[in-house]
Amino acid sequence: MGKIAIIMGSDSDLPIMQSAAEILTELNINFEITVVSAHRTPERMVEFAKIARRKGFDVIIAGAGGAAHLPGMVASLTTLPVIGVPIKSSNSIDGWDSILSILQMPNGIPVATVALNGAKNAGLLAARILSTQDKEVAKSLKKYHNSMRRSVLAKAKKVENMQKK
């Protein structure tokens, strides 16, 4: 069965990144979570990325803010799929810095970028990746989509009724 790594550049990213952990828990998917700073622990990052496949990870989710080098650098040191989560940190310029630092990778080294602060979608994307080899995950995702649909329909009813009053 698959296993996901969730890493982040700083523990201050945890309030955002734990959404990835929560959705993976909800979908019954194994994961490990830790802090790996590209800039303050560059060698730890190299080590982490180089042995990630051997340690049994299938996907790495990496969140970072500002000049966010963690997702791209990890992607350069492994051939596993890496999902980048741009984080709007305190001195960020509206999040543009982390978005562009993660998204605009040069040819050769892809990072799967999700929306600003989109850690939940990073977890769901990791699940979609696992679902190509794991039918249980595919089923969980199917159920998750159905529940989203039902939730929208319930809200639609509520909004429609408000009008009638």
Q: Which of 40, 51, 55, 136 binds a second copy (CB under 8 A)?
A: 40
Q: Are 17 and 70 in contact (CB under 8 A)?
A: no
What angle separates helix 96-103 from helix 70-77, to the nearest 10 degrees? 10
Instruction: Confirm or reject binding of residue 63 to a second copy (CB under 8 A).
Output: no
Which of 83, 151, 88 lies closest to 121 in space, CA to CA?
83
Which of 15, 8, 140, 132 lies closest to 62 in space, CA to CA?
8
Instruction: Confirm or reject binding of residue 29 to a second copy (CB under 8 A).
Output: no
Q: Binders of a second copy: how many residues, by CB under 8 A? A: 94
Q: Which of 36, 52, 62, 63 binds a second copy (CB under 8 A)?
A: 36
Q: Are 61 and 7 in contact (CB under 8 A)?
A: yes
Instruction: Confirm or reject binding of residue 55 to a second copy (CB under 8 A).
Output: no
Interaction residues for a second copy, span 101-160 (CB under 8 A)? 101-118, 120-122, 124-125, 128-133, 138, 141-142, 144-145, 148-149, 151-153, 155-156, 158-160
Tokens of 151: 């939730």
In the complex, minimum distance from the CB of residue 46 to a second copy, in angstroms, rounded to a whole number: 6
Instruction: Confirm or reject binding of residue 32 to a second copy (CB under 8 A).
Output: yes
Instruction: Confirm or reject binding of residue 99 to a second copy (CB under 8 A).
Output: yes
In the complex, minimum distance from the CB of residue 83 to a second copy, in angstroms, rounded to a whole number: 7
Tokens of 135: 């039918």
Cα–Cα distance for residue pair 115/124, rounded to 1 Å: 12
